[in-house]
Structure 1
Amino acid sequence: MSTTNKITVATTWLDGCSGCHMSFLDMDERLIELAQKIDIVYSPLVDAKELPEQVDVGILEGSISSDDDLEKAKAFRQHCKLLISLGDCAVNGNVPAMRNQFKLSDVMDRAYRENVTLQPQIPNREVPALLKTVKPIHGEVRVDVFIPGCPPSADAIWHVLNELIEGRVPDPSSVTRFGA
């Protein structure tokens, strides 16, 4: 716990659609109640630009598809006491992992050469290098809690966070499932 007796929470998204963060925001007025119990110390939803040294709960959305995603997942595992894999992309790779059935070079050619009419070229600047295969979060780092769903509902996220706040081990399968 942090010194303010609030749980510190960090979130980020990797390769995915950010729909899980939208579900987080769908807690609507419950966010006010949640704000009394947690401090969001790092997230695309807040201004903080640096992941603190020590965070109580880390929430990762999306799959690991690039060097950048892998760096973020490793940093979250290093700095977060408890790590949550949020959504089907984080839990099993989901849509981003559909490219795993193809060679990466074929995927790149299709996306950046075959389907482009103006200056077809594979990007090589300011774009994170793609990994050969897409992996779920637990394919690279240890995960403590898995919340499936595409996206998980605001109610499921609310349930899991409240269980953690109360010091209980959440059972996400009681409130969500894959694709729900």
Structure 2
Amino acid sequence: MTKKLKVATCSLAGCFGCHMSLLDIDEDLVDLQKHIEFNRSPLTDIKTLGECDVGLVEGGLCNEDNREVLLEFRKKCRILVSVGACAINGGVPALRNQFSTEECLEEVYQQGFNTTTTLIPSDPEIPQLLSKVTPNHESVDVDYFLPGCPPPAAAFSEFLTALIENKPIHLDYPYRRFD
């Protein structure tokens, strides 16, 4: 039996839609499971990251925790993949980039609709916001990009199958278009 491809996934500043699209592979996921082993992932509930062949990272960077997770994925994953618009260009979370961090926090905690407190939280358990939301490739080297919001399920299947079969990665046009 050939060695299974070890795959880890995580969600940073995103909506978790890319993970849902991965699950939309449906019964193909059962076939892929014969060739891949999930490591750290919400799909497995494994919390620590071991050495992996592939890291699928959904979402960009909006806080210090996101940065630490991304750096760990880059260090422990032989192949790192930015998955979806948020990971590739900041996506919807990057809409806050037109405002300062202070303006965002004031709007949410002091001026927002139905606020019950005017205190901006400063608990050390809450990850420190970065000044801007950034795509992953601005902080680490990324090997592949799976575009879309979210990428279609077939793109995940095509990508993982190519890796399993040790074939060049090529996503046909239907897996890269968004209309």
Q: Would the TM-score normalized by the shorter structure come out above 0.5?
A: yes
Which residue of 2 is the match for residue 93 of structure 1? Answer: 90
| Misfit runs of 4+, over 6 Å | none
Q: Percent identity?
A: 44
| CA distance in 2: counterparts of 1:47 and 1:102, whole angstroms | 35
Distance 1:64 1:173, change over 3 A: farther
In the alignment, is the contact (CA less than 8 A) between 1:10 and 1:42 conserved in 2?
yes
1:56 aligns with 2:53: yes
Task: Please tell me whether residue 171 in structure 1 is matched to residue 170 in structure 2.
Answer: yes
CA gap of 1:173–1:119, structure 2 versus 1, over 3 A, is farther
Is 1:40–2:38 an aligned residue pair? yes
Q: Please tell me whether the aligned partners of residues 59 and 83 of structure 1 are also in contact (alpha carbons under 8 angstroms).
A: yes
1:130–1:171: structure 2 CA closer, same or farther, 3 Å change rule?
A: same
- Deviation of 1:173 after TM superposition, in Å, equals 5.9
Q: What are the superposed Cα offsets for residues 121-141 of structure 1, whole Å, 9 maximum, x if unpaired?
A: 212222211100110010101
Instruction: Tell me the alpha carbon deviations over residues 45-89 of structure 1, each in whole angstroms, 9 at most, x when there is no partner.
Output: 11211101x110001000111000000000000000000000000
Alpha-carbon contact 1:84-1:143 (below 8 Å) kept: yes
How far does the alpha carbon of each residue in 1:114-161 deviate from its partner, in whole angstroms, 9 at most, with x for none?
114311221222221110011001010100000110001111111111
Q: Which amino acid aligns with 2:79?
A: L
Equivalent pair of 2:25/2:154 in contact (CA under 8 Å): yes
Q: CA deviation at 1:17?
A: 0.3
Length-normalised TM-score, structure 1: 0.93
Q: How many residues align?
A: 177
**Of residues 68, 75, 78 in structure 2, which corresponds to 1:78?**
75
TM-score, structure 2 length as denominator?
A: 0.93
Q: Structure 1 residues 23, 139: closer, same or farther in 2, change over 3 A?
A: same
SS of the residue corresponding to residue 100 of structure 1 reads helix
Q: Which runs of 5+ in 1 are unaligned?
A: none
For the pair 1:26 / 2:24, whether they are aligned, the reply is yes
- For the Cα contact (< 8 Å) 2:109–2:117, is it kept in 1? no
Contact 2:8 2:56 in 1 (8 A): yes
